Each structure stands twice: as structure tokens, then as C-alpha cells.
Amino acid sequence: MGIFSENIVNQRFRQVFEELEKNNLIKGKSDIAKQLGTYNHVVNSILKGDRNVTIEQLHKLFEIYSIDANYLFGFANQMFKRANDAAIPVRYLDERQQGGRMNITLVPNRAMAGYALEHADNSYLADLPKFSIPNLDGNLIAFEITGDSMYPTITNGDVVVCEPLERGDPMRDNNVYVVVTDVVVAKRVQQLRDGNQLRLISDNSTVYKPYEVDLEEIRQVLRVKCRLTTYAIS
């Protein structure tokens, strides 16, 4: 196996592939590759442990084959959204059949620009993928992070699960928040004394310098509750 073989998400993906193939729900690697919007050699590399499965591929896996997101992230042992079911597309299952309300909205990297503009539009949010994690309640938003500005706290490809704050809610200096202006960034924040700006600070401070944003430019602030990473514990 390759260097990614110990990644729990990749391990579970391989188990899902084997289960779908065993039950004749897919016809090999080329079939699932087509459904996930990728190529046969990409699926082969994931199964061999030579690359990570992407967030977008996981979303399609959840939607098309009704795989439980909690299973893929290692939080549950039930593979499908209903025990002993064949794979039924999520769009054909009601909320009760899905095993409860999917309360976390995932904003993939490709949707970041749209979120900055339309985060208050319920119809926009309704079209984004949903999942849940045990013991994380409330209406939460998860963001797929790219880049290394928050390394090593947040690494490229991690997903941070966040709680939206109401305007005026208190923030704690030096804690990590997602700040939405015309872009979406995850940073540590410091509240400046004049009360009109926030200083945004990267953990990778040798490369990325702190900068200030005016409060009037901020469209939303979300407190980071946890992160999901595809990197295995070594």
C-alpha cells in the first residue's frame, strides 16, 4: 500500500468500494470513477493508497450511493444511511429515513466565492451538501480549507466545522474563526482597541503577515468548533 493507506477516509473508501462491488451496485473502478466525476486511474490510486480521496468525490459518494458521511470519517460503523439497505440515492430518502437531520452544511473550496456573496440566502445553502457528526448539534457550516497560511493548526485539505455568530456576539482574541468579507478565510483574530477593526493572524507567520479588516467589511464571522483532517496520525 502507498503512503496514504493509513488514512481512515481512504481505508473506509476502499471498504465502500468493495461493498458496492460485492452487491453489484458498481461494475468496477471505471463505473464508480464515472459517477464520482474522475478517472479510473484516480480511483485505482486511492484504492492503492497512493492519493487521498477529495471532498468533492466524497460528496458525490454520499449523494449517489447513500453512504453515511460519519462512516467515511470514522465516527460510525454503519456504512449506509439505513441499516441493511442497498444503496439508495439520498434524494429519494426523507429526513427520517436518513437517520436524522443533516445539520452541517459543507462549503467546498469551489463554492467559497459564492458563499461570500450568498451566505444569507437559504436557497443557496439548501443546494450545498449536508452531513452530520455525533455530538455536534445546531446549524453548522463546514469549509474546505486550501493553502498553508494556518499550518500546522490547519493543513491544506482540512475541513473546519464552524458555528455562525450573530452580530455583536463576543469573540475571544487569538482563537480561530472563519471571517467572511469578499473572501472566506480562517484566521486567528485580535480585536483592536479602536473597536472598528479586526486583526487577522496566520499561524504560518513567517510567510503570511497579520493584516486588518474594517468591521463594516465583514459579512459574517464563524467560530471554529473542530477540524476534520485527512492526514493519518503518525
pLDDT for res 108: 86
Confidence check: pLDDT of 102 > 60 = yes
Contacts of 60 by beta carbon, 8 Å cutoff, 6+ apart: 35, 36, 37
Domains and CATH numbers, the chain: 8-92 (1.10.260), 104-228 (2.10.109.10)
Pick from 168, 180, 159, 188: nearest CA to 222: 180
Confidence check: pLDDT of 94 > 50 = no
Q: C-alpha grid cell for residue 47? A: 484504492
Long-range contacts, stretch 165-170, CB < 8 angstroms, 24+ apart: 165/220, 165/221, 165/222, 165/223, 169/221
Check residues 46 and 70 and name the one with the higher pLDDT: 46
Check residues 232 and 158 and name the one with the higher pLDDT: 158
pLDDT tier for residue 194 given thresholds of 50, 70 and 90: confident
Q: C-alpha grid cell for residue 203? A: 499561524
Q: C-alpha grid cell for residue 73? A: 470519517
Per-residue buried b or exposed e for 74-85, using 16+ beta carbons within 10 Å of the residue's own CB: ebeeebbbeeee
Dihedral, CA of residue 62, residue 66, residue 69 and residue 73, to nearest 10: -90
Using one digit for the tens of pLDDT, what is the confidence trace for 21-66?
888 889 889 999 999 989 999 999 999 888 888 888 888 888 888 8
| 96-113: average pLDDT | 73
pLDDT tier for residue 189 given thresholds of 50, 70 and 90: very high
Q: C-alpha grid cell for residue 51? A: 492519493
* 16/23 Cα distance (integer angstroms): 11
